[in-house]
Amino acid sequence: MFDWMAWTWPTATFFGFIAVLLITFTVLAIKFPETPRVGVLRIETTRGDRLFITLLGSAFINLAWLGLGFGPQPYALLVCLGYAAAVFRWV
């Protein structure tokens, strides 16, 4: 059935992690509603918006890491975690 897609453990783990994040943020939004806040981008953002910005930016960081050959890909994860902390703090 899924012969057309090469599912590996890292790929499945990645998508599983994204699914867990989405479920967690949905539960947080229901249990602890928040008011949007304005950060350095001067736009109103909620937790979900900041998660989307983080995921999108992390994708670009990983693509740039691969394209420019900065080194082993797991080190890009550290850059992405720093980026995520910055987004959730200041955006």
The pLDDT tens digits of the residues spanning 46-55 come to 999 999 999 9
- Section 21-49 average pLDDT: 93
Query: What are the domain boundaries of the chain?
Result: 9-90
Eight-class DSSP state of 72: -
Report the pLDDT value the prediction gives residue 1, as an integer from 0 to 100.
56
- For tokens 């950060």, name the residue: 39
**What is the C-alpha separation between 57 and 85, in angstroms, rounded?**
12
The pLDDT tens digits of the residues spanning 67-90 come to 999 999 889 999 999 999 999 999
Report the pLDDT value the prediction gives residue 26, as an integer from 0 to 100.
93
